[in-house]
């Protein structure tokens, strides 16, 4: 059973446009992480959010954790070709839980 | 800085053959994980380990076995490969503290014919 659903599954936009990727669940997570994966490589951590309603910014990327800690979003402003990749959200369901549950992924392509 | 190293990078097997995927990390991480990645399904946890000599089942453990005889190594075995096990396999490791990032290898692409 996939606990985390991401939307859209695929997204292709022009350079300079803005976009939002969503990560949704019916379960409550104690924390949530976002990873980016490039072809032929493993995922790399972008950010960790731990508090309901928390917003974190990483240059042009803005991450938000839902108030109820069941969902999250990633907003990219003025997308660049270097943003191209597979974006994965991943959550922990219990405090101290060593396991992550990964979302289904969003494959983003930025067209120059 | 090697980080997490997986071997081999590619492998083709025939149905029924066995093989072992190797994962080594040089960051002294306590936790290690094996995932499989299939299109549209993100990463699914196969087995994991919270320390040397310990292993536990993840979401999709059937058909796989693991061993963690040394802290730095985590082995994934397929005793009798099946076409359904065709996938990209990723190893990851992390510190034990809460909310630590998982550090991934570059994956092993495995095809079962």
Residue A14 pLDDT > 70, yes or no?
yes
The per-residue DSSP string of A49-91 comes to E-STT-EEEETTEEEEE-TTSSEEEEEESS--GGG-EEEEEEE
Which of A:6-45 have CB within 8 Å of B?
Answer: 6, 9, 31, 33, 40-45
Q: What is the DSSP letter of B9?
A: S
Residue A96 has a pLDDT of: 62
Both tokens of residue A16? Answer: 């300079």
Strand order in the sheet with A55-58: A5-7, A19-24, A71-76, A61-65, A55-58
Confidence of residue B97 (pLDDT cuts 50, 70, 90): confident
Place of tokens 């693991």: B66
Determine, for residues A48 and B101 on separate chains, whether the beta-carbon distance falls below 8 Å. yes
Give the residue among A7, A37, A11, A17 at the shortest CA–CA distance from A112. A17
Asked if the model's pLDDT at residue B20 lies above 60, the reply is yes
Helices (H) and strands (E) in chain A, counts: 0, 11
Cα distance from B38 to chain A (closest Cα, Å)? 10
Smallest CA–CA distance from A2 into chain B, residue: B41
| Distance, CA of A72 to CA of A82 (rounded, Å) | 22
pLDDT at A1: 52
Say yes or no for a CB contact (<8 Å) between A42 and B107: yes
Cβ–Cβ under 8 Å, residues B103 and B4:
yes
Of A48, A88, A98, the CB nearest to B43: A88
Mean pLDDT, residues A71-99 taken together: 91
**Which residue matches tokens 């309603």?**
A53
How far apart are alpha carbons A23 and B90 in whole angstroms? 22
**Quick check: helix, strand or coil at residue B17?**
coil
pLDDT higher than threshold 70 for residue B65: yes
User: Looking at the predicted structure, is the pLDDT value of residue B99 above 80?
Assistant: yes
Q: Residue B94 and residue B90: Cα distance in Å, rounded?
A: 14
A68: contact with B, CB 8 A cutoff: no
Q: Which pLDDT value is given to residue B41?
A: 80
Reading the block at residue A108, the tokens are 């983003």
Measured between its terminal Cα atoms, the distance across chain A in Å is 37
Tell me what pLDDT residue B1 has: 63
Report, as an integer, the average pLDDT of B71-85: 97
The 8-class DSSP code of residue B26 comes to: S
Tell me: the pLDDT tens digits for A23-49?
Answer: 999 999 999 999 999 999 999 999 999
Give me the residue from B42, B101, B103 closest to A105, CB to CB. B42
Position A95 confidence tier, pLDDT thresholds 50, 70, 90: low
Average pLDDT over residues B81-99: 93
pLDDT in tens, A48-61: 999 999 999 999 99
Q: Which residues contact A5 (CB under 8 A, 6 or more apart)?
A: A23, A24, A25, A103, A104
Residue A2 has pLDDT above 60, yes or no: no
Q: B68 or B41: whose pLDDT is higher?
A: B68
What does the pLDDT read at residue A94?
75
Query: Chain A partners of B108 at a C-beta cutoff of 8 Å?
Result: none
């Amino acid at each position: 059973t996939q606990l985390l659903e991401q939307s859209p599954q695929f997204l292709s936009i022009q350079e300079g446009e803005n976009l939002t990727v969503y990560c949704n669940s019916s379960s409550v997570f104690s924390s949530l992480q976002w990873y980016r994966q490039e072809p032929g490589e493993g995922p790399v951590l972008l950010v960790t959010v731990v508090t309901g309603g928390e917003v974190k910014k990483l240059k042009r990327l803005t991450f938000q954790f839902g108030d109820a800690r069941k969902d999250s979003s990633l907003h990219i402003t003025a997308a660049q070709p270097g943003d191209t990749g597979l974006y994965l959200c991943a959550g922990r369901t219990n405090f101290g839980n060593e396991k992550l549950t990964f979302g289904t992924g969003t494959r983003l392509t930025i067209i120059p | 800085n090697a980080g997490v190293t997986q071997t081999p990078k590619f492998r083709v097997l025939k149905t029924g053959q066995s093989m072992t995927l190797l994962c080594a990390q040089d960051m002294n991480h306590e936790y290690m994980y094996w995932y499989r990645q299939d299109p549209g399904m993100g990463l699914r946890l196969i087995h994991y380990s919270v320390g040397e000599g310990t292993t536990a089942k993840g979401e999709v453990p059937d058909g796989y076995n693991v061993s963690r005889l040394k802290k730095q190594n985590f082995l994934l075995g397929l005793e009798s490969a099946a076409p359904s096990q065709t996938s990209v396999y990723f190893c990851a490791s992390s510190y034990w503290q809460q909310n630590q990032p998982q550090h991934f290898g570059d994956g092993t692409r495995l095809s079962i014919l």
